Structure 1
Amino acid sequence: MISPKKYAKPAKTIPKGYKTANEFFNFVFNDEDMIWMGQNTNHLHDENQIMDSMMHSIKKRDYNKYPPPEGFPELKELILKDLGLQNEFDILVTAGGTESLYLCTNDILAPEDNTITCDPGYLIIDNFASRFGDHVKSVPIYNEECGYKLTPELVRENMDDNTKLISLVDPLNPLGSSYTKEELKEFADIALDNDIYLLNDITYRDFAEDHHLMAKIAPEHTVTVYSFSKIYGMAGMRIGGVIGVPEVIKSIKSIVINDLGTNVVSQRGAIAAVKSKKEWLGHIKNTTRSNQEIIKKAVDQVEGAFIPVYPSNGNMLAIDIYNTNVTPLAISKYLLDRKVFTREGSYTSKVFGHRYLRVSFSIPPEDVKYFAKIFVEGMNILKSSK
């Protein structure tokens, strides 16, 4: 019998009444009344060019054919243009940012290499890095002193001669913290001086008020992960990309999983999404910012609760409830029973998961107002029952 391999994994709690995580997600997905605040997905797009382009692709039966294996050239050019990158970079279109992360860690890491990540963070990176390298150093960053993010100082304290990869998710899931240009320049110095690669996951960059690309500062030492899941509202279409200098992308291409290309319908939608971005981006950013304010007002009503990073530069934030004596699991269950899906902190932290609830807010304002109401109500009820 094959034994399951032991890699770093998030502590996913399966709610009572469900045998598996898949069974639970199937329930949540198919409940049309469920308010989706648990996976940072974007529900603010109306019917627009993105949907029209995918529907047109389906009607043409584009899906009967395999697409170009590295992605449609038009899409590749549009992504580079969106990032303000020139022809000295190349891109591989992938089945979502997660596949890009897998390919990067697989290609960059040798068995003796180690990776620096942070806790809280996107734990799938720890999973992948622990498969291909020697070990992962997950640096605790849940404190005000470091600004709730991985700093150049913390990297220097935790790196050694075998450190080959530093994960920089910017803005950071789940906290929404982000980096200044000066901080990125320091990371660039570390990478250049020590021949280290910087894994720059920019999935949430378009929600940020100000964002700087690592690729523009340390191009030879940066791999950039791009996703259509969040700002473009295409999470279920599974499309993204990885960007780097040609030598790096050529190496990554040698280990591709989807050697017959990425979903044709997704790519058609992605092309329309980038082309139409200027038309809807302002609306989505303004809505998510005002939605944050609604959540903040609700949190401020609960004694002992606070938001560590506010405003968040992503479309999600963490609500610290540790001093309320209410557990993230308890309030997430209370909310779920009232048709609001959130995630307890253990999904994004091995060390601090008992402290916070993560909620995303790229959803209609009326749904955020409903969340705010029942969050306050639930916290008061759960606190009084202690």
Structure 2
Amino acid sequence: MPKISSKGQSMPQSPIRKLVPYVENAYKQGKTVYYLNIGQPDIKTPEIALDAVKTHSLEILAYTRSEGSEEYRKKIANYYHKKDIEVTHENIIVTTGGSEALLFAFGSIMDSDDEIIIPEPFYANYNGFSVASGINIVPVISKIDDDFALPPIEEFEKLITPKTKAILICNPGNPTGYLYSKEEIKQLADLVKKHDLFIIADEVYREFAYDGISHYSIMQEEGLGEHAIMIDSVSKRYSMCGARIGCLVSKNEAVIQTALKFAQARLSPPTFAQIASEAALETPQSYFDEVIEEYVDRRNTLITELQKIEGVKVAKPNGAFYCIAELPIKNSDDFAQWLLEHYDHNGETVMVAPAAGFYSTPGVGLNQIRIAYVLKKESLIKAVNIIKEALKVYKD
């Protein structure tokens, strides 16, 4: 029998999606399930984006340019200008989601067995992207006790070897919701310049910054042009996860020209999704103001309710729409499965994401879960109460 590749066998399962069979069985048992596990916003996609597709008069759904249409890229550059990020359309390659942008970045700057340093916990698919690219993640652990702030810069420096090519951050962070300060970004900038490394910043949650704290992009940092690669996406900003449109942004011409070759190999990003994404750039600020207000309200509700549970520790996020909670249990994988298979509170249960899948260090985060507060306040209160009641009867 033909054998599966070692790379294929090494690909990690999604900690978010691996519980799907259990939630399907929960439905068959007649349970209501509150989804706290996945960052699919319930906020409506801007009408202007949907209408652009509905009313378009295309007669041929043709390829676009491999780097994305010039008109769209110019409008993206204009959007960045409003955020004090000065780039041109030639610094931008449109990709099929932020995921493809990360794969292009990895492929452009790293060879097999090269290393990338990432503060953990981090977006679980970074593990998958690294395996697919044949590179190695070197983790530096951030801690729940300081809300997952940037670890001391000395901890990064200890990990740098001749194989180190880049540092990757997610800002604001998934799964932590931590928003890096300007000072933290400057520390990282000094480090990558000192050691001649790249810094990749996944900034897909840029708009979701709370408590009067401003998002500071690596692209705003002076003197970092040759080192900085920014990853972006329309998925969360406009609640357009299914559009699968993102982009890679860099002022490093060699990076852009190399990434373009990867883009040419996959031909082009999807045409209709670019049309929708281009239209979405005209979304009024009032849309974001309302969304931010809603998420702050949800975050405050979630944190307040979690803090009422004895033995639970929770980090307060200042961005995105996730938080990490530490539970008085040994294994959150087992707990998450048990919630779906064997538990309900008045016919209701919850689906959470075990946090160990957001770490690459074995044995870390086993008693933590990631919660996405993408449900309305009433549902969040019910969901946290279910967790509270479940913890009273759950046995490790």
Shorter chain as denominator, the TM-score bin is 0.7 to 0.9
Q: Tell me the amino acid that sits aligned with residue 125 of structure 2.
A: I
Shift of 1:77: 1.8
Shift of 1:78: 2.1
Q: Tell me the amino acid that sits aligned with residue 64 of structure 1.
A: L
- RMSD (Å) for aligned C-alpha atoms: 2.9
Cα-to-partner distance string for 1:262-315 (whole Å, 9 max, x where unaligned): 11111111112111142311111110000011111210221011212x133111
Distance change in 2, residues 1:148/1:320 (3 Å)? farther
Distance change in 2, residues 1:8/1:65 (3 Å)? closer
SS of residue paired to 1:373: helix
**Structure 1 residue aligned with 2:313:** 306
1:345 aligns with 2:355: yes
Q: Tell me the amino acid that sits aligned with residue 348 of structure 1.
A: F
Q: How does 1:90-239 map to 2 (within 5 A)?
A: 90-111=91-112, 113-132=114-133, 135-144=136-145, 147-209=148-210, 210-217=214-221, 218-239=224-245
Q: Tell me the amino acid that sits aligned with residue 327 of structure 1.
A: S
Cα-to-partner distance string for 1:31-69 (whole Å, 9 max, x where unaligned): 9x8654322122212662121112223xx2466222222
- Higher mean C-alpha displacement, 148-157 vs 102-111: 148-157
Distance in 2 between residues matched to 1:373 and 1:326, nearest whole Å: 23
Distance in 1 between residues matched to 2:54 and 2:354, nearest whole Å: 36
**Structure 1 residue aligned with 2:68:** 71
Match of 1:80 among 77, 90, 102: 77
**Structure 2 residue aligned with 1:249:** 256
Distance in 1 between residues matched to 2:35 and 2:233, nearest whole Å: 19
- Higher mean C-alpha displacement, 296-305 vs 149-158: 149-158
TM-score (norm 2): 0.84
Distance change in 2, residues 1:381/1:131 (3 Å)? closer
Q: Tell me the amino acid that sits aligned with residue 385 of structure 2.
A: V
Shift of 1:4: 2.9
Distance in 2 between residues matched to 1:381 and 1:123, nearest whole Å: 26
Q: Tell me the amino acid that sits aligned with residue 41 of structure 1.
A: Q
Distance in 2 between residues matched to 1:197 and 1:383, nearest whole Å: 47
Distance in 2 between residues matched to 1:258 and 1:298, nearest whole Å: 49
**Structure 1 residue aligned with 2:290:** 283
Distance change in 2, residues 1:17/1:86 (3 Å)? closer
Report if the CA contact (8 A) 2:330-2:366 is conserved.
Answer: no
SS of residue paired to 1:64: coil
**Structure 1 residue aligned with 2:392:** 383
Distance in 2 between residues matched to 1:48 and 1:374, nearest whole Å: 30
Q: Tell me the amino acid that sits aligned with residue 320 of structure 1.
A: E
Report if the CA contact (8 A) 2:76-2:281 is conserved.
Answer: yes
- Higher mean C-alpha displacement, 124-133 vs 227-236: 124-133
**Structure 2 residue aligned with 1:39:** 38
Report if the CA contact (8 A) 1:10-1:124 is conserved.
Answer: no
Count, aligned residues: 371
Q: Tell me the amino acid that sits aligned with residue 86 of structure 1.
A: E
Cα-to-partner distance string for 1:138-165 (whole Å, 9 max, x where unaligned): 2222343584434423211211232111
Distance change in 2, residues 1:259/1:14 (3 Å)? closer
Q: Tell me the amino acid that sits aligned with residue 211 of structure 1.
A: H
1:369 aligns with 2:378: yes
SS of residue paired to 1:80: helix
Report sequence identity in percent: 20
Match of 2:12 among 9, 12, 15: 9
Distance in 1 between residues matched to 2:198 and 2:276, nearest whole Å: 31
Cα-to-partner distance string for 1:75-124 (whole Å, 9 max, x where unaligned): 21222222223345611100000001111101100235211113211132
TM-score (norm 1): 0.86
Distance change in 2, residues 1:47/1:97 (3 Å)? closer
Distance in 2 between residues matched to 1:258 and 1:49, nearest whole Å: 32
**Structure 2 residue aligned with 1:240:** 246
Distance in 1 between residues matched to 2:109 and 2:197, nearest whole Å: 10
SS of residue paired to 2:79: helix
Distance in 2 between residues matched to 1:306 and 1:277, nearest whole Å: 37
Segments of structure 2 that go 5 or more residues without pairing to the other structure are none
Q: Tell me the amino acid that sits aligned with residue 349 of structure 1.
A: Y
Q: How does 1:312-327 map to 2 (within 5 A)?
A: 312-321=318-327, 323=328, 327=332
Q: Tell me the amino acid that sits aligned with residue 334 of structure 1.
A: L
**Structure 2 residue aligned with 1:21:** none
Report if the CA contact (8 A) 1:91-1:241 is conserved.
Answer: yes
